[in-house]
Amino acid sequence: MYQLNANENPYPPLPSVVAALAGAAGRANRYPDRFSTDLTEALARRLDVPTAHLALGAGSVGVLQHLLHALVRDGDEVVFAWPSFEAYPHLTAMNRGVAVQVPLRDETHDLDALAAAIGPRTRVVLVCNPNNPTSTAVGRSALERFLDQVPAEVTVVLDEAYREFVTDPDAPDGIALYRDRPNVVVTRTFSKAYGLAGLRIGYAVAHESLAAAIRSSAVPFGVTAAAQTGAVASLAAEAELLERVELVVKERERTATALRDLGLTVPHSESNFLWLPLGGRTEEFAAACAAAGVAVRAFPGEGIRLTIGEPEANDTVLTIATSFASS
C-alpha cells in the first residue's frame, strides 16, 4: 500500500544521517541532553537567531501543545482558519480553550475574516502557511497587513511545517516577519522536508519571553537523543536534502499538471501535497485509490489531500483519476 495520506517524505534519511543515528542508538541507555544544546546552537546558526529564541519539541505539533499550555486558560479563544491542520481543535480542547474556526475563502486563509474574529478572549491565532490540507499559501504583503491588525497581547503562530517546499517568491518567510514582531511565533519541523517524521522533532522561533514560556511547559527529556542527533546531521547535510526537496517539488508540479489536464480542480500548491476539492465525490475517489493500493487522506464532503510520493505511486493515482474524470 502506497502511503499518500500523511504528508511524509518518500525518501529515507540520507546515509550520513543514518550513520549518525546508528551511533546514537549505541548510547540509548543515557538520557538525552535536556536542553538540546547541539541542535539549538546549530539551528541558531542556520536561522541567524539567538539560542534564547528557540524552543524544541516532539514535532512542531509538540511545540504548539507546549505553547497553548503556557498561554491559554479556561475559556480563552484560539482562532484559526478551517479546514486547516487537524490538530488545532484537539490541542485547543486539551488546553481548555475555545476554538474559533474561520472558513477559508477560495481554499486560502481569509485574513480579513481571521482578523475580525479576534475578540477580547482571544489569546492565540494560528496561521498554517502553506495551509494543510488545501496546500495554498498567503502572500507576504497580505500577511504583513494582517499581523499589523493583531493586538500586541495576542500571539500569532505562523505554522510553517512545509516552508521548505515553497517556491513562490511572494510567499512570506516567517523568520523574517518575527524579528520585529514580539507577538509572532514561527513553528517548523524536521518531519517533512528533512524526512525525520518517525523521530518527532520540531521547533519554535520566538522572542525570548515567549520562547521561555514554551520551554517551561515542555516535558523534561521530551526530545530524544536520536531525534537531536538526526536533526543535527540533517542540518549538516542540508544542501543534499534540499536536492530531494527539489525532486518532490518537480513531481508535485508534474502530478498537478496531469490532474488539471484531466479537468480536475487543483489549487496551486506550495507544499508537498495537493488538494482535490471533490465535494460529494470525495469518498468515491478515496475508495478507488484504496482498491488500487494507495492510501489518501479523505475529508468527507470536501476533498482529498494527496501527498506527493514516489513517481509510481503518483502515477497510480493519475490512472485512477483518468477513470474518475471520465465517469
**pLDDT tens for the chain, residues 1 to 327:** 899 999 999 999 999 999 999 999 999 999 999 999 999 999 999 999 999 999 999 999 999 999 999 999 999 999 999 999 999 999 999 999 999 999 999 999 999 999 999 999 999 999 999 999 999 999 999 999 999 999 999 999 999 999 999 999 999 999 999 999 999 999 999 999 999 999 999 999 999 999 999 999 999 999 999 999 999 999 999 999 999 999 999 999 999 999 999 999 999 999 999 999 999 999 999 999 999 999 999 999 999 999 999 999 999 999 999 988 877
Dihedral of alpha carbons 319, 108, 247, 250, sign:
positive
Q: CB within 8 A of 29, min separation 6: which ones?
A: none
Which of the 8 DSSP states describes residue 108? Answer: B
**Burial of residue 180 (number of CB atoms within 10 Å: 0-12, 13-18, 19+):** exposed
CA 240 to chain centre: 21
pLDDT at 324: 86
pLDDT at 49: 98
Measure the CA–CA gap between 79 and 81, rounded to whole angstroms: 7
Measure the CA–CA gap between 252 and 161, rounded to whole angstroms: 17
Burial 228-244 (b: 16+ CB within 10 A, else e): bbbbbbbbbbeeebeeb
> Which residue type sits at 133?
P
> Which residue type sits at 71?
L
Laid out side by side, the sheet with 155-159 consists of 54-57, 202-205, 184-189, 155-159, 122-128, 77-82, 98-103
Burial 30-51 (b: 16+ CB within 10 A, else e): eebeeebeebbebbbeeeebee
Dihedral of alpha carbons 119, 122, 124, 129, sign:
negative
